Amino acid sequence: MANREALRDLQTRLATRLQAAKNEELSVSSWLAVESGGQPYLLPLGHAGEIFPWSALQMVPYTQKWFLGVANLRGNLFGVVDLAVFLGGTPLRTEQTLSETSLLVFNAALEVNAALLVDRLAGLRSLEAFVSSAPPPDDAPAFLGHLYIDAQGTRWQELNLQQLSQHPPFLSISA
């Protein structure tokens, strides 16, 4: 129970900081850091919307394994994508582990009612948090950005949510 309250506090603080950052002029090197399937990712702040705790979903038959269903978040319906599975991972999820996840909604400006299931919110990052970077491979999907390495050696993959929201496989949920 204490973990759940701590998670809610973190989500509230992150939501407040996200809103404050959106109200200021954003640089292209401001990210929301998340983990999904054990992998760290950087999502541009301008592409991220609200963060919600795990919510019960309405399952949708005959869809891709990464499409978990539809969630009602503040009276709006969002398709929920398991980010780790979409990117090729196979995380094992139980009711307990799902209850500790978060749903990150795409910014309304991207005009897609989608939310990403992420395992952990890791705060906000700026370019100064990293010691080096490398461009994506030539054959990488358009939504994969640079790979950034922090001082601890953690490799953070940048994901462009605008490009992801227009990626044909992401838009094709039917199995």
Is 7 within the bounds of a domain?
no
CATH of the domain at 97: 2.40.50.180
Is 20 within the bounds of a domain?
no
The pTM for the full model equals 0.81
Give the domain range for residue 96.
27-171
- For residues 1 and 4, what is the distance between their CA atoms, to the nearest angstrom? 5
Is 78 within the bounds of a domain?
yes
Q: How many domains are there within the chain?
A: 1
Tens-digit pLDDT profile for the chain (175 aa)? 566 776 677 677 766 666 655 544 444 579 999 999 999 999 999 999 999 999 889 999 999 999 999 999 999 999 999 999 999 988 777 888 888 999 999 999 999 999 999 999 999 999 999 999 999 999 999 999 999 999 999 999 999 999 999 999 999 999 8
pLDDT at res. 20: 56
pLDDT at res. 12: 72
By the 8 A CB rule, do 52 and 8 touch?
Answer: no
Q: Where are the strands (E) in the chain, listed by range?
A: 30-36, 39-44, 48-53, 67-73, 76-82, 102-106, 114-118, 120-126, 130-134, 144-150, 155-159
